[in-house]
Amino acid sequence: MTPPVASALVPFTPPLHVDQLLGHLAATAVPGVEEWRDGALRRGLALRRGPAVLSLAPPRPGDAAVRADLLTGSPDDLDEAAGLVRWWLDLDADPVGVDAALAADPALAPLVTAAPGRRVPRAVDAGEMAVRAVLGQQVSTAAARTHAARLVAAHGTPLADPVGGVTHLFPTPSQLAAVTADELALPRTRQRTLLGLVAALADGLLDVPPGRLEDPSRAQRLAELRALPGIGPWTASTVALRGLGDDDAFLPGDLGALAAARSLGLAQDARALERRSAAWSPVRGYALQHLWGVLPHALNALPAGTTTP
């Protein structure tokens, strides 16, 4: 075990559905940048005083805080890292209010009762989320991770003090500007989409601090993202929900959400699910987490063998 250089307890309002939240982040972890090891989620971060590796262990039953350990980096960056954890794990959410709103729908009430406190697994950076969303268009979670890992290895900043499998920072927009179509093992249309997105990110498209969408400038950035060629509703809504804090963003065309909706008798197609989701506004993003939880998937559970401390 790597001893931390600094640690903080980041509080939250219970309940917190840990399996879904950390399970999602572990299942989608980009090799080189993120990993699940020794019962904790690790991630490389670019903090104010330099690169660092952050570790998050699942809170124990009854806890009202997540322990955040800086394994490398400056202890003086602990407050900044804790702020990112609050955003990344959606710890500022009001789970009681969200659950009450969703449970008002008889179709969702049993899901909320079975798994209270679901959160939205956010992204530490909106631009990174946009790149990862494009890489995940119409492919499996494993394929998306592989594509992202190649970009990280080729263009990410290597960590001077790697920890386990955390060896790089995710590439910045300026670093990604060096990406060429030849190195992308993607269909040509998605190559063009990614290169267009990267160019827009390098021009500052999503250069915003983590936070919710209420800021009008963030809504404008999202509109500009949607205008880019190849950025469809699924990609834009993913970035809105996980990167820009739009709690009402919804993905009616998502295959997992649709499969869950059909199994629950809510809707048979994306258009019907979009209409049905109006009852869950303005917290449709949390309803989406419950839909994803209906069917078995690695996103819904902590990695095998994990035990809370």
| CA neighbours closer than 13 Å in the CB half-sphere of residue 197 | 28
Backbone angles phi, psi at 203, to 5 degrees: -85, 5
Burial letters for 213-229: b for 16+ Cβ neighbours within 10 Å, e otherwise? beeeebeebbeebeebe
Q: Is 13 helix (H, G, I), strand (E, B) or coil?
A: coil
90 is catalytic: no
- 63, 125, 254, 269: which is the annotated catalytic residue? 254
Largest CA distance in the chain: 53
**What whole-number distance in Å separates Cα of residue 129 and Cα of residue 236?**
10
* DSSP at 94: -
- Token pair in block for residue 144: 């998306």
| CA neighbours closer than 13 Å in the CB half-sphere of residue 284 | 21
**What whole-number distance in Å separates Cα of residue 83 and Cα of residue 87?**
7
Residue 107 to residues 98, 104, 117, 265, 287, Cα–Cα distance (Å): 15, 9, 17, 9, 11
Q: Over the Cα atoms of the chain, what is R_g? A: 19
Active-site residue list: 254
